[in-house]
Amino acid sequence: MTDVEANKTVKKPQSINIDGIVWLTVWFCLNIGVTIMNKAFFKWYSFTFPITLSLIHMVCSSLGSFAVMKASGIRMQVLEGSDNIPIVLFSLLFTANIVVGNSALRWVNVSLVQVVRSLIPGITMVLSTRLLGKSYTRQYYYIIGLVCFGVTIASLGEVEFNALGFSLTLLVCFLSSLKSVMTNKFLVGKLQFHPFELLFRMSSLASIQMALVGWWFESEDVGKWWSVVSDEEGSIDPQAFGLALAANGAMAFLLNYSNFMTTKKTSALTVTVAGNVKHILTIVLSIVVFQNPISFMNGLGTVITLLGAILYSGYDYARKNWK
What's the pLDDT score for residue 16? Answer: 62
The number of distinct structural domains making up the chain is 1
Task: Please give the backbone phi and psi of residue 46, each rounded to the nearest 5 degrees, phi first.
Answer: 55, 25
Contacts of residues 159-165 at CB distance under 8 Å and 24 or more positions apart, as own/partner, are: 159/292, 159/293, 159/294, 159/295, 159/298, 160/108, 160/109, 160/292, 160/293, 161/108, 161/112, 162/107, 162/108, 164/107, 165/104, 165/106, 165/107, 165/108, 165/112
Please calculate the CA angle 297-303-308 and round it to the nearest 5 degrees: 125
Residue 134 in any domain: the answer is yes
Phi, psi of 80 (to 5 degrees): -80, 160
C-beta atoms surrounding 183 within 10 Å: 18
Per residue in 292-319, pLDDT tens?
A: 888 899 999 999 999 998 898 888 888 8
Q: Is residue 112 part of a domain?
A: yes
Closest CA to 312 of 141, 143, 138: 143
In a domain, 6, yes or no: no
Asked whether residue 10 is assigned to any structural domain, the reply reads no
- Tens digits of residue pLDDT in 210-246: 999 999 999 999 999 988 887 776 677 878 889 999 9
1, part of any domain: no
C-alpha distances (whole Å) from 61 to each of 57, 141, 263, 280, 284 are 6, 36, 19, 27, 28
Residue at 289 is within a domain:
yes
CB-CB contact of 111 with 283 (8 Å): yes
Examine residue 11 and state whether it is found in any structural domain, yes or no.
no
Residue 89 lies in domain: 18-322
Is residue 270 included in any domain, yes or no? yes
Whether 201 contacts 193, CB under 8 Å: yes
pLDDT tens, N- to C-terminus, the chain (323 residues): 445 444 444 444 445 678 888 888 898 899 999 999 999 999 998 899 999 999 999 999 999 999 999 999 999 988 877 778 888 888 999 899 999 999 999 899 999 998 998 898 889 888 888 887 888 899 999 999 999 999 999 988 888 889 999 999 999 999 988 988 887 777 666 677 888 998 999 999 999 999 999 999 999 999 999 888 877 766 778 788 899 999 999 999 999 888 888 877 876 667 767 777 888 888 888 888 988 888 899 999 999 999 998 898 888 888 877 75
